[in-house]
Amino acid sequence: MEQILKDEIVGILNEIQRSAAPQIIENELVPVSVKTSEHKFDLVDSKDGFPLRDFETGTAHYVNGKENETYNLKIICYDDYLHQFTYDDGNGHTHVNRLKDGVKVSDFLIYDESDSKYFIVHELSDENSTKKIRVARKQLSDTLNQLYKSNVISKFIDEFTNKICFLSAKDSRKIIPTEDMAEGFNEIYRILPEPIPFNFGQIGTHGFYAFETSFVQLSK
């Protein structure tokens, strides 16, 4: 997906950037990504291009399949990528953020390269306040709106069986089983009243489920 994002980001940014920013003609920036097939790992908003940490030491905790049968996951640092695109406003500010005021971006795009089973948009939050959670939900919705401006990207995403948004704050929410998400939706929450399912903005419109949780289980 990195090459697709590199090619398609020009059209996306030209639609969501400030009116004062010059149109982007071409792009040579490729998003930073990491791969993992570890059974258990954590994610943090590291700002250094390497968001992986040991299990239960970070903000979001992943259980990736079974111990000897995991997914090959690709993690794209989406927020970091979009914020590399700046412009010179001619008034002494050489690195002005291109994004319009109010446009939000999520931290990570995560997908499995093995079975096309999971495509995840993940936002991490250092706080669990009502205001922060609302902003984080908007980040997820805005990110989907950005990605779905591209027919190429939307086609890529829609090939995945489970399309999920996760919002992780620093708390102690429980693991969610995500196997057969659509069919087992009500059953999941009879068993586990937490995490918190939610819909915000255009998340549901794009065919995504959304959950607030710190633990994510990708079932095999």
Vertex 110: Cα angle to 182 and 199 (nearest 5):
45
Sheet holding 52-53, edge to edge: 52-53, 40-43, 60-64, 215-218
Per-residue pLDDT tens for 156-171?
999 999 999 999 987 5
Distance from C-alpha of 37 to C-alpha of 31, rounded to nearest angstrom: 20
Residues 196 and 212: beta-carbon distance below 8 Å = yes
Whose tokens are 């049968």? That residue is: 69
pLDDT value of position 195: 73
Is it the case that residue 185 has pLDDT exceeding 50? no
Per-residue pLDDT tens for 128-140?
778 888 999 999 9
pTM above 0.85, yes or no: yes
62: phi then psi, degrees, rounded to nearest 5? -110, 135
Vertex 148: Cα angle to 211 and 158 (nearest 5):
70
Among 40-49, 65-74, 132-141, whose mean pLDDT is lowest?
A: 40-49
